[in-house]
Amino acid sequence: MTEAKTYIAPSLLQPDDHAVLLIDYQYLQLVTACSHNPQGVIAAATLLARGAKLFNVPTFLTTGLAERQGPVHEVAAVFPDHTPLDRTTLNSFEDPRVVEWVKKTGKKKLEMGGLWTESCLLMASLSALHAGYEVYIVVDASSRGSLDSHNAAVQRMVQAGCIPIAAGTYLKELQRDWSRKETAGKVREIYTKEGTAYGQAVRWELDLLKLG
């Protein structure tokens, strides 16, 4: 009997094949972003950040004009030793320091989340595509003043070649097998703490196991 093969799509992210950019998670951007519930955006961005840290994915944080506004603490707290790079450019890929960091990682895939969708995320993702990177955009970790502006930006990025992904999908994609005990427990912990719908299902599952 021939042994069955297994297949892994090359488009599925691996912990060691990409880097993460967290662009301008700051409160001024957040309070003026109305396309999504701000708490949901924070939860998705924090889940993304914690997942990247758990799987040792190279991660870079930026801010824009930081003297005028503070960072979103939930995201910044995941990387307490990381001082976000502050820029004046709307497009982080127009800052040579950002481009140089990405280049030094040696990764050709980039996972990006950012506020606002149609400026910080859009401009950086299109520029990264032009530079030859494969770009994944975390659509639920981004927001803007209206749903129309958010959706238009996402459509433009996707049409250009970006790959849309949700924060919760990202974490499951890196884990993929619950037998990987070294991270499985932490992944469940992240889901339950960040309050996603999947996290609620995990909580129910754990509660049922306790009752059993």
Top-confidence residue, 34 or 158 = 158
Residue 24 φ/ψ region, left for φ over 0, alpha for ψ in the -120 to 50 degree band, beta for the rest: left
Residues with catalytic annotation? 120
The runs of H, that is alpha helices, within 91-176 are: 96-105, 122-130, 147-160, 167-175
Predicted pLDDT of residue 206: 54
With a CB cutoff of 8 Å and minimum separation 6, the contacts of 16 are: none
- Chain centroid to Cα 159, Å, comes to 20
- Chain centroid to Cα 162, Å, comes to 14
Predicted pLDDT of residue 209: 47
The pTM score is 0.89
Q: How confident is the model over 94-153, as pLDDT tens digits?
A: 999 999 999 999 999 999 999 888 889 999 999 999 999 999 999 999 987 788 989 999
| CA pair distance 190, 168, nearest whole angstrom | 10
Q: How confident is the model over 82-111, as pLDDT tens digits?
A: 999 999 999 999 999 999 999 999 999 999
Q: What is the average per-residue pLDDT within 16-23?
A: 97
Top-confidence residue, 195 or 74 = 74
On average, the pLDDT of the chain sits at 88
Residue 183 clears pLDDT 80, i.e. is over it: yes
Residue 195 clears pLDDT 70, i.e. is over it: no
DSSP 131: T
10 Å CB burial of residue 193 (0-12, 13-18, 19+) is: middle
Highest mean pLDDT of the ranges 19-33, 77-91, 126-140, 190-204: 126-140
Domains along the chain with CATH numbers: 18-176 (3.40.50.850)
Residue closest to 61 by CA, chosen among 30, 16, 24, 100: 24
